[in-house]
Amino acid sequence: MKKIILWTAFGIAGLVSAKNVEKSKPTKEKQETVQESECSESEVFRMRCFEYSMWIPCQDFFINDQVCWGEGTGVPTWDDAWNCMNENVEMAIFHFCGG
């Protein structure tokens, strides 16, 4: 049951964020720049953040949260950040809805 709630919350957050994306056609200049440059090692390890919403079913509301990973965050990889998000959702539901 918790997994269904979790996936529903992520799905809704994804749909909401997808509506705000502007569709733009890349220019030739941008395409050439992307092809010429490769990701440097510092870009691979740079800090990245992801904002998501957690649905609290017993109260029927959402809580926004953000998780960051990469250099300087204490969370080295996306997989670790994903695990943190799952733990945060479980703890929030437990806090508001009880055990």
pLDDT tens column, 39-74: 566 666 789 999 999 999 999 999 999 999 999 899
Nearest to 56 by CA among 16, 14, 19, 2: 2
Which comes out higher in pLDDT, residue 96 or 11?
A: 96
Give the mean pLDDT of 34-38: 50
Supply angle C-alpha 90, 17, 36, rounded to 5. 110
Q: Cα(7)–Cα(23) distance, rounded to whole angstroms?
A: 26
**Residue 96 in this model has a pLDDT that exceeds 70:** yes
**Residue 89 in this model has a pLDDT that exceeds 90:** yes
Torsion of CA 54, 79, 73, 8, to 10 degrees: -10
The pLDDT mean for the chain works out to 76
Q: Cα(37)–Cα(39) distance, rounded to whole angstroms?
A: 7
Which comes out higher in pLDDT, residue 17 or 57?
A: 57
Can you give the pLDDT at residue 33? 47
Q: How far is CA 16 from CA 21, 29, 51, 65, in A?
A: 10, 31, 12, 15
What residues form DSSP beta bridges with 46? none
Specify whether the CB–CB gap between 64 and 53 falls below 8 A: yes
User: Per the confidence metrics, is the pTM higher than 0.85?
Assistant: no
